[in-house]
């Protein structure tokens, strides 16, 4: 028998539409009802952390969740399942993967259709997540995301569609596993990131700035005037911006860490291909730190956790260089 701790955070999987749109309504007992789990195989205990749309969650909520998961594992949990909304699920998964250095499976799932919607995918996804968590071959693979019978690693997973049940994809490759006939068929390689210290609380203000055609740098100047502890810039293609942004970014990078990501759906930030003003070579020479193949929101998450944990500039550079 596998002892599994279930933590619920709300989201579409826990919502019903009684008129006026879907809203949080279900607790752990309702989510587990009708799952048809084998009591001889799974011992499931559940705890409601919050019941919110995932866009309402904060990084402090995720730090708290990480502590709860660690405590559950210390108390004997052999696996963990988390349910939450899909809008920020990829960020929760990546944050937990950075913060929890454990072998026990941690599986996150959600739903694209509310519990009151015809064809809701919540029960199927939760059942698949529990099966994955209980599978001994899931150990040592970090935080996993399970939806639509696909298993994704936390680092590469992203929500690629607003409403379809197959909304989740893995950047630079497909899912690392598929679920068929109640078992996992592992398919792809898993890339994990270095572990980070769990901060006491979220303090650092780290926005994401996305550059665009015709960007004259005025909006960036306004952002740079704020009290920032870090910045992530999403550039075009391999990590490029209009030349008007170069001097401002250099000035900001002289004060706080500035990480360079790409707004592309796949591929890493380049480091040595282009040499024109605003190119990746120009920006790196001005002090920007390339994000590797991390999406902007995940680069921002990693930078925020690093800064919340007291990392200096050299530690930040070392983390991103190790990706």
The per-residue pLDDT for range 160-174, each reduced to its tens digit, is 999 999 999 999 989
Read off the pLDDT of residues 283-316 as tens digits, 9 standing for 90 and up.
999 999 999 999 999 999 999 999 999 999 999 9
* CA angle 179–180–183, rounded 5-degree value: 70
Q: What is the mean pLDDT of residues 239-266?
A: 98
Q: Residue 276 is part of a domain; what is its CATH number? A: 3.40.50.40
- Parent domain of 295: 208-321
Q: Which pLDDT belongs to residue 69?
A: 99
Number of domains in the chain: 2
Look at residues 131, 153, 186 and tell me which one is the last residue of a structural domain. Answer: 186
Residue 70, exposed/middle/buried by CB under 10 A (0-12, 13-18, 19+)?
middle
Mean pLDDT (the chain) is: 97
In this structure, the answer to whether residues 92 and 37 fall within a common structural domain is yes
The pTM of the full predicted model, rounded to 2 decimals, is 0.96
Is 116 marked as binding a ligand?
no
**Active-site annotation holds for 12:** yes
Is 8 marked as binding a ligand?
no
In this structure, the answer to whether residues 115 and 261 fall within a common structural domain is no
In this structure, the answer to whether residues 224 and 119 fall within a common structural domain is no
Is 132 marked as binding a ligand?
no
Give the active site residue among 12, 83, 88, 304. 12
In this structure, the answer to whether residues 78 and 223 fall within a common structural domain is no
Which residues contact residue 301 at a Cβ distance below 8 angstroms, ignoring those fewer than 6 apart? 59, 91, 94, 95, 98
In this structure, the answer to whether residues 19 and 146 fall within a common structural domain is yes
In this structure, the answer to whether residues 30 and 163 fall within a common structural domain is yes
């Amino acid at each position: 028998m596998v002892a599994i701790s279930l933590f619920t955070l709300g989201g579409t999987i826990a919502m019903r539409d009684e008129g006026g749109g879907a809203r949080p309504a279900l607790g752990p007992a309702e989510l587990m009802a009708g799952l048809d789990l084998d009591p001889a195989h799974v011992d499931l205990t559940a705890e409601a952390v919050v019941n919110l749309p995932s866009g309402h969650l904060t990084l402090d909520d995720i730090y708290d969740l990480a502590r709860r998961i660690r405590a559950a594992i210390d108390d004997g949990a052999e696996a963990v399942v988390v349910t939450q909304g899909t809008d920020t699920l990829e960020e929760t998964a990546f944050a937990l993967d950075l913060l929890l250095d454990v072998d026990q499976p941690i599986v996150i799932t959600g739903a694209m259709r509310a519990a009151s919607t015809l064809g809701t995918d919540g029960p199927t996804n939760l059942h698949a997540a529990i099966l994955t968590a209980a599978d001994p071959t899931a150990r040592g693979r970090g935080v996993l995301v399970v939806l639509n019978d696909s298993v994704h690693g936390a680092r590469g997973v992203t929500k690629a569609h607003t409403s379809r049940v197959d909304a989740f994809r893995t950047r630079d490759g497909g899912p690392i596993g598929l679920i068929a006939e109640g078992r996992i068929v592992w398919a792809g390689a898993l890339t994990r990131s270095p572990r980070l210290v769990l901060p006491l609380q979220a303090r650092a203000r780290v926005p994401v700035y996305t550059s665009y055609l015709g960007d004259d740098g005025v909006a960036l100047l306004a952002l740079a005037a704020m009290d920032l502890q870090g910045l992530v810039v999403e550039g075009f293609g391999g990590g490029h911006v209009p030349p008007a942004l170069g001097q401002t970014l250099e000035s900001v990078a002289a004060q706080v860490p500035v990480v360079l990501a790409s707004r592309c759906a796949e591929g890493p930030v380049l480091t040595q291909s282009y040499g024109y003003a605003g190119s990746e070579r120009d920006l790196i020479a001005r002090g920007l730190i390339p994000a590797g193949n991390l999406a902007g929101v995940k680069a921002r998450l990693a930078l925020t956790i690093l800064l919340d944990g007291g990392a200096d500039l050299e530690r930040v550079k070392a983390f991103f260089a190790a990706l």
